[in-house]
Amino acid sequence: MSEALDPEPAAPEPPQAEIFTLAVDAMGGDRAPEVVVNGIGIAAERHPEAKFLLVGDEARLLPLLLANKRARAACTVLHAPDTITGDCKPTAALRQRQASMRLAIDAVAEGRAQGVVSAGNTGALLALSKVVLKTLPGIDRPAMAAIMPSARGDVVMLDLGANVACDSRNLVEFALLGDMFARTVLGLTAPTIGLLNVGSEELKGDDRVRRAAEILRRSHIGNQFYGFVEGHDIPGGTTDVVVTDGFTGNVALKTGEGALKLATDLLRQIFSSSLSAKLGYLLAKPGLDQMKLWLDPRRYNGAVMLGLNGVVVKSHGGTDAEGFAHATDVAIDMVVHRFNDRIREGLGRLGEAMTEQYPLAAVR
Amino acid sequence: MSEALDPEPAAPEPPQAEIFTLAVDAMGGDRAPEVVVNGIGIAAERHPEAKFLLVGDEARLLPLLLANKRARAACTVLHAPDTITGDCKPTAALRQRQASMRLAIDAVAEGRAQGVVSAGNTGALLALSKVVLKTLPGIDRPAMAAIMPSARGDVVMLDLGANVACDSRNLVEFALLGDMFARTVLGLTAPTIGLLNVGSEELKGDDRVRRAAEILRRSHIGNQFYGFVEGHDIPGGTTDVVVTDGFTGNVALKTGEGALKLATDLLRQIFSSSLSAKLGYLLAKPGLDQMKLWLDPRRYNGAVMLGLNGVVVKSHGGTDAEGFAHATDVAIDMVVHRFNDRIREGLGRLGEAMTEQYPLAAVR
């Protein structure tokens, strides 16, 4: 749908994988634009094929770029006079047409960039992306997805808060989006998919969730559908993808992160509590350092808005340059692997399955 | 309401704190009745003032009691010919009038016991408790509560799955029940209370939750009401009580437990990975053992069904004797501290606040 806005109708669609540009909202996040510029410096080194359209206050960006050679070589600056603040409501954000976040998303809509990364206001990013980029044909609502550590490797979870309330159809769409995301970002060939529910013993479950399960079982990803999973299955890694509504997903993600932080904080206390414990730490250091690295929240930074006509990645606002670079990596992965083209194919097949067995009206 | 069923109308209500009896479903749980009898042995040692009405298959119980002197001295056996299995549906459970779980709950309704503990089928326990004991006057639906570890001490969370969908009024009642529970079981004088929500930055939140917050702010526990909390605030210990609906609470509890298990499993691997790491473990052992003890799921065993005319505690079905004894401790705490009398007082005060400012019809 963004093609309609394209001022250069001759521009080829999709772009070649070898050359691509990411639009970056330079002004979003707690320590912007410093963290953003330094993050791009790190990402540029890892991805020499990537170009960056850095959108923000030119007067603040130029000195930072002068000090960072790698970022400077990979960036083009687009001046944006305004910034969307963290407490700005989505409706107010929509009116700020000269804000860095808006101009960065416009660049994707107009084909000047293939994806956008922002560490700014999540609600505004979601609202602007929906309005400017539109959702993919067949997708009702976009979802936020991210990666979490588990006992059996990384797990994709969605939705993480874009949709507080969801119906069966939304959950089915999230499963499809999650499937493609796991293939693209985790490199899996047939990711297993679980639908989050409460223990079947305790409760009858939830109509919405049971209907979504029924549709998924009969869809073209039916053989990847594991069935219901519970909270402990997320860190347990029972499935590669965990699908849920935005309220539950947001709470589960943050509870899991918080519990891991509790454990690592306890360990830090223990290993500094005595001379003997400090020595113990040194002896077990290789393993403990690996654990720390593996659970490092920066490694999981980069929540993706899935289901839009364009790649949109949200970085945590409080992250550092390394974390921002990781969010940039996620966006690059999705662009290089033509995530949205693959989603379009998958949606076509899901559409057939739904129309055959479940007329849309009955599903909702 | 249970008094109507009481065959001895002369029995004094409430019973004296010094003498009390707990009814125990001897046949519930994965390794019943062995774990139950041995659990009672441990609890009886800690609480010499407690008597137990052990309900189950006499032929299986008597040999176990013969082998456990402490349990034998504290128990009276009540034979129950039937057992409610783990896969039994609540509606089917209601028809099994001679099942151990049913007879144990009947004993509470008839005043022969002041509380009941079962490691059996949760759905059946909830359904039977609702039908036999009834909810307290003013309580719409009972809630399941449990205790979780956090960075700032134990946190009470509810609902954990008794109610998949909740309205504002339910959430307000849960807050009141959670407040009393934290006072009783954690011994706090003015526990702080948080209402679980998604990040206010990301989303508008949820009508239901915002309305509940408004009522709580104006209620007699308004000064204890912290406002909204997010997932990470549970393990972070931001508030003493966390209130949410049964779907979210169940997922959050299990995700948090799963994440802590992931961390402790990783540590176990690390400390057995090399000779040097094993030595490191020995040097840090005092602290690590303390952490293990503190995070031990058995220490958090015993989910309580709050809001009923009687104390009902659900033990995890897969726990061992130590875990079952802990669930028994929770029930004893609630009986000794006259939990339900205090809830009745609190409900009276909440009722006044609601009628003044929010007619009930408007709240729902």
- Identify all chain B residues contacting A262, using CB atoms and an 8 Å cutoff: 149-151, 235-236, 260
User: Are residues B170 and B273 both part of a single domain?
Assistant: yes
- Portion of chain A with pLDDT greater than 90, in percent: 71
The pLDDT-based confidence of B346 (bands split at 50, 70, 90) is confident
- Identify all chain B residues contacting A248, using CB atoms and an 8 Å cutoff: 247-248, 251
- Identify all chain B residues contacting A287, using CB atoms and an 8 Å cutoff: 269-271, 273-274, 277
Would A51 be classed as within a structural domain?
yes
Would B155 be classed as within a structural domain?
yes
Would B345 be classed as within a structural domain?
no
Domain span holding position A202: 140-300
- CB of B250 within 8 A of CB of A255? no
- Contacts of residues A291-295 at CB distance under 8 Å and 24 or more positions apart, as own/partner, are A291/B266, A291/B267, A291/B270, A292/A264, A294/A149, A294/B266, A295/A149, A295/A260, A295/A264, A295/B263
Q: Which residues of A257-279 are buried (b: 16+ CB within 10 A; e: fewer)?
A: bbbbbbbbebbeebbeeeeebee
Nearest-Cα residue of chain A relative to residue B314: A202
Nearest-Cα residue of chain B relative to residue A316: B202
Phi, psi angle pair for B133, to nearest 5°: -90, -25
Structure tokens at A131: 């309005």
- Burial of residue A359 (CB within 10 Å: 0-12, 13-18, 19+) is exposed
Total of domains in chain A:
2
What residues pair up with A243 in beta bridges, in sequence order?
Answer: A158, A195
Would B125 be classed as within a structural domain?
yes
What is the rounded average pLDDT of the residues B51-65? 97
Cα(A186)–Cα(B234) distance, rounded to whole angstroms? 29
Distance of CA A88 to the CA centre of its chain: 21
User: Are residues A147 and A294 both part of a single domain?
Assistant: yes
Answer whether residue A265 shows pLDDT above 80: yes
User: Which pLDDT score is estimated for A5?
Assistant: 41
The pLDDT-based confidence of A351 (bands split at 50, 70, 90) is low
Q: Which of B84, B207, B262, B288 to mutate to test the interface with A (most CBs of A within 10 A)?
A: B262
Which DSSP state fits A333?
A: H
Answer whether residue B291 shows pLDDT above 60: yes
- Identify all chain A residues contacting B276, using CB atoms and an 8 Å cutoff: 283-284
Cβ-nearest to A199 among B203, B250, B290: B250
User: Are residues B331 and B290 both part of a single domain?
Assistant: no
- Identify all chain A residues contacting B150, using CB atoms and an 8 Å cutoff: 262
Q: Min CA distance, B87 vs chain A (Å)?
A: 7
Distance of CA B61 to the CA centre of its chain: 26
Give residues with Cβ within 8 angstroms of B72, minimum separation 6: B65, B66
User: Which pLDDT score is estimated for A342?
Assistant: 82
User: Are residues A145 and A265 both part of a single domain?
Assistant: yes
Beta pairing class for A155-158 and A143-148: antiparallel
- CB of B145 within 8 A of CB of B112? no
Position with higher pLDDT, A302 vs A55? A55
Cβ-nearest to A255 among B122, B232, B281: B232
Tokens 């009941």 belong to residue: B116
Looking at residue A362, its amino acid is A
- Identify all chain A residues contacting B295, using CB atoms and an 8 Å cutoff: 263
Nearest-Cα residue of chain B relative to residue A274: B284
- Portion of chain A with pLDDT greater than 70, in percent: 89
What is the rounded average pLDDT of the residues B332-357? 75
Answer whether residue B88 shows pLDDT above 60: yes
User: Are residues A221 and A248 both part of a single domain?
Assistant: yes
User: pTM of the full predicted structure?
Assistant: 0.87
Cα(B153)–Cα(A136) distance, rounded to whole angstroms? 47
Q: What is the pLDDT of residues A237-248, one digit of tens each?
A: 999 999 999 999
What is the rounded average pLDDT of the residues A186-195? 94
- CB of A71 within 8 A of CB of A43? no
Cα(B21)–Cα(A223) distance, rounded to whole angstroms? 53
Cα(B329)–Cα(B40) distance, rounded to whole angstroms? 10
What is the rounded average pLDDT of the residues A311-336? 94
Q: Min CA distance, B26 vs chain A (Å)?
A: 19
Cβ-nearest to B266 among A202, A282, A291: A291
Would A363 be classed as within a structural domain?
no
Answer whether residue B119 shows pLDDT above 80: yes
User: Which pLDDT score is estimated for A7?
Assistant: 44
- Asked whether the beta carbons of residue B235 and residue A198 sit closer than 8 angstroms, the reply is no
- CB of B231 within 8 A of CB of A251? yes
User: Are residues A276 and A328 both part of a single domain?
Assistant: no
Q: Give the residue from A279, A300, A321 where a domain finishes.
A: A300
Cα(A18)–Cα(B107) distance, rounded to whole angstroms? 75
Cα(B303)–Cα(B142) distance, rounded to whole angstroms? 12
Q: What is the pLDDT of residues B222-279, one digit of tens each?
A: 999 999 999 999 999 999 999 999 999 999 999 999 999 999 999 999 999 999 999 9
Beta strand segments in chain A, E: 20-25, 50-56, 75-79, 115-118, 143-148, 155-158, 193-196, 225-229, 241-243, 303-306, 311-314
- Identify all chain A residues contacting B196, using CB atoms and an 8 Å cutoff: 251
User: Are residues A224 and A100 both part of a single domain?
Assistant: no
Structure tokens at A146: 């991210």
Cβ-nearest to B164 among A198, A233, A285: A198
- Asked whether the beta carbons of residue A206 and residue B231 sit closer than 8 angstroms, the reply is no
Answer whether residue B360 shows pLDDT above 70: no
Nearest-Cα residue of chain A relative to residue B288: A270
Cα(B184)–Cα(B59) distance, rounded to whole angstroms? 37
Cβ-nearest to B287 among A203, A262, A273: A273
Q: Which of A84, A207, A254 to mutate to test the interface with B (most CBs of B within 10 A)?
A: A254
Would B288 be classed as within a structural domain?
yes
Which DSSP state fits A163?
A: -
User: Are residues B20 and B159 both part of a single domain?
Assistant: no
- Portion of chain B with pLDDT greater than 70, in percent: 89
- Asked whether the beta carbons of residue B258 and residue A234 sit closer than 8 angstroms, the reply is yes
Q: Which of B64-78, B155-169, B177-191 has the highest mean pLDDT?
A: B64-78
Looking at residue A63, its amino acid is P
- Asked whether the beta carbons of residue B248 and residue A244 sit closer than 8 angstroms, the reply is no
The pLDDT-based confidence of A161 (bands split at 50, 70, 90) is confident
- Asked whether the beta carbons of residue B283 and residue A277 sit closer than 8 angstroms, the reply is yes
Which DSSP state fits B241?
A: E
User: Are residues A73 and A162 both part of a single domain?
Assistant: no
User: Are residues A165 and A279 both part of a single domain?
Assistant: yes
Would A355 be classed as within a structural domain?
no
> ∠ CA(A148), CA(A150), CA(A151), 5° rounding?
170
Q: Which of A262, A270, A300 to mutate to test the interface with B (most CBs of B within 10 A)?
A: A262
Structure tokens at B73: 């001295």
- Asked whether the beta carbons of residue A287 and residue B277 sit closer than 8 angstroms, the reply is yes
- Asked whether the beta carbons of residue A287 and residue B281 sit closer than 8 angstroms, the reply is no
- Identify all chain A residues contacting B269, using CB atoms and an 8 Å cutoff: 287
Position with higher pLDDT, A184 vs B263? B263
Nearest-Cα residue of chain B relative to residue A251: B231
Closest CA to A196 of A165, A145, A239, A167: A239
- CB of B213 within 8 A of CB of B193? no
Q: Please state, rounded to an integer, the average pLDDT across all residues of chain B.
A: 88
Q: Min CA distance, A264 vs chain B (Å)?
A: 8
User: Which pLDDT score is estimated for A352?
Assistant: 62
- Identify all chain A residues contacting B205, using CB atoms and an 8 Å cutoff: 164
User: Are residues A248 and A312 both part of a single domain?
Assistant: no
Among A174-178, A191-195, A294-298, A322-326, name the one with the lowest average pLDDT.
A294-298
- Asked whether the beta carbons of residue A230 and residue B247 sit closer than 8 angstroms, the reply is no
User: Which pLDDT score is estimated for B345?
Assistant: 78
Would B360 be classed as within a structural domain?
no
Answer whether residue B6 shows pLDDT above 50: no
- Identify all chain A residues contacting B233, using CB atoms and an 8 Å cutoff: 258
- Asked whether the beta carbons of residue A122 and residue B201 sit closer than 8 angstroms, the reply is yes
- Identify all chain B residues contacting A289, using CB atoms and an 8 Å cutoff: none
User: Are residues A76 and A23 both part of a single domain?
Assistant: yes
Supply the CATH number for residue A85's domain: 3.40.718.10
- Identify all chain B residues contacting A150, using CB atoms and an 8 Å cutoff: 262
- CB of A157 within 8 A of CB of A146? yes
Answer whether residue A8 shows pLDDT above 50: no
Q: Min CA distance, A3 vs chain B (Å)?
A: 29
Cβ-nearest to B231 among A150, A198, A252: A252
Cβ-nearest to A231 among B151, B255, B277: B255
ipTM reported for the complex surpasses 0.90: no
- Asked whether the beta carbons of residue B263 and residue A265 sit closer than 8 angstroms, the reply is no
- Identify all chain B residues contacting A270, using CB atoms and an 8 Å cutoff: 284, 287-288, 290-291
Cβ-nearest to A232 among B198, B258, B265: B258
